[in-house]
Amino acid sequence: MERFDNSPETALEWHRQGLGAALATVVETWGSAPRRTGSQLVIGGDGRIQGSVSGGCVEGAVIVEALEALDEGQARLLEFGVSDEDAFAVGLACGGTIRVLVEPVGKVLTEELLAELVAARSGREALAYEVNLTTGQRALKRGAYPERMRMDRSGFEEDGQTFVLVHNPPLRLIVVGAVHIAQALVPMARIAGYDPVIVDPREAFASENRFPGETILHDWPDEAVARLGLDPRTALVLLTHDPKLDDPALEAALAADVFYIGALGSTRTHAKRVDRLQQAGFAEAQIGRIHGPIGLDIGAAGPAEIAVAILAQMTAVLRGRA
């Protein structure tokens, strides 16, 4: 999955600076198009850009069209065929076709709507931006398009005129327990698009030397998750084997709406965990959300393979696979 970008934030900033800004969004692709639907490029009134809609193939043409759209104050729907030769020239294996919607900020994409979108993104609120290409009507939708939101899949509805751009918060992984498995899991998760946080009060384990460049919290896990917040784009992985550390974070997660909870341990260890949670008053349905023993059963041996199994299970749950 692609990393979270800040094209809407940049567009709003440039517009408010008086520079002028237009957002270009990939709304449809065919063949081996270099960028997925929903990818964005922001173009400033002076020609500066941030982001990408084609990996370099057609950016120049999009910039020209965007500057003209800014002058006219009207949206434009562009279509480009990226030939095999052009694609090869920028390091792509083959060509494809893309449609790009260019929306000037102000008259078309209003400052008020864009500011509301930026505020929602800042607050880790999931929503969809909906635009009807026939009527020009634009709106932000909360609680709509659940399948699109779950799959991070922007695109056209069946009417062929309503385009839906998914704005989900970045995926976040909270790992309780700075053990060997965490050392393998954290970089894998980062590659897969997660913002990881390591939580462990044991500073000898949770050190910069063991997790270079990563966010490390030495709080007790229940305090850490309360400070970080738990939401539907958060996965919680418990790796300490120590109920004093795992259970407080686990109880917080069971009371929240995280999309994944996984806990390391054997079947016997998990049975004891279930007993403790039942005694703490948690219902069977709540406890059933815990994936324990953690990870898909792939015969994993060693920390790296266990990390692969955990990340695979997280992906399956996120995408709605059994």
CATH number at residue 189: 3.40.50.720
- Residue 147 domain flag: no
- Residue 155 domain flag: no
pLDDT for 1 equals 36
Domain end: 80, 95, 121, which one?
121
pTM above 0.85, yes or no: no
Domain end: 55, 90, 121, which one?
121
pLDDT for 321 equals 86
- Residue 166 domain flag: no
pLDDT for 88 equals 46
- Structural domain harbouring 72: 7-121
- Residue 76 domain flag: yes
- 108 and 176 in a single domain? The answer is no
Domain end: 105, 121, 137, which one?
121
Separation CA 82–CA 35 (nearest Å): 11
pLDDT for 91 equals 44
- 83 and 196 in a single domain? The answer is no
- 82 and 177 in a single domain? The answer is no
- 224 and 308 in a single domain? The answer is yes
- Residue 16 domain flag: yes
> What are the two backbone dihedrals, phi and then psi, of residue 5, each rounded to the nearest 5 degrees?
-115, 170
How many domains, the chain?
Answer: 2
Separation CA 188–CA 183 (nearest Å): 9
- 314 and 252 in a single domain? The answer is yes
Long-range contacts of 41-47 (CB under 8 A, 24+ apart): 41/7, 42/7, 42/10, 42/11, 42/14, 43/67, 43/70, 44/14, 44/19, 44/20, 45/14, 45/19, 45/20, 45/21, 45/70, 46/19, 46/20
Structural element, H or E, at residue 50: strand 49-51
- 185 and 293 in a single domain? The answer is yes
pLDDT for 29 equals 86
- Residue 280 domain flag: yes
Tens-level pLDDT at each residue, the chain (322 residues): 344 579 999 999 999 999 999 999 999 987 766 678 999 999 999 999 999 887 666 888 899 999 999 999 999 999 987 665 554 454 444 567 889 999 999 989 999 999 999 999 999 999 999 999 999 999 999 999 999 998 999 999 999 999 999 999 999 999 999 999 999 999 999 999 999 999 999 999 999 999 999 999 999 999 999 999 999 999 999 999 899 999 999 999 999 989 999 999 999 999 999 999 999 999 999 999 999 999 999 999 999 999 999 999 999 999 988 6
pLDDT for 82 equals 63
Separation CA 171–CA 151 (nearest Å): 12
- Residue 222 domain flag: yes
pLDDT for 98 equals 86
- Residue 85 domain flag: yes
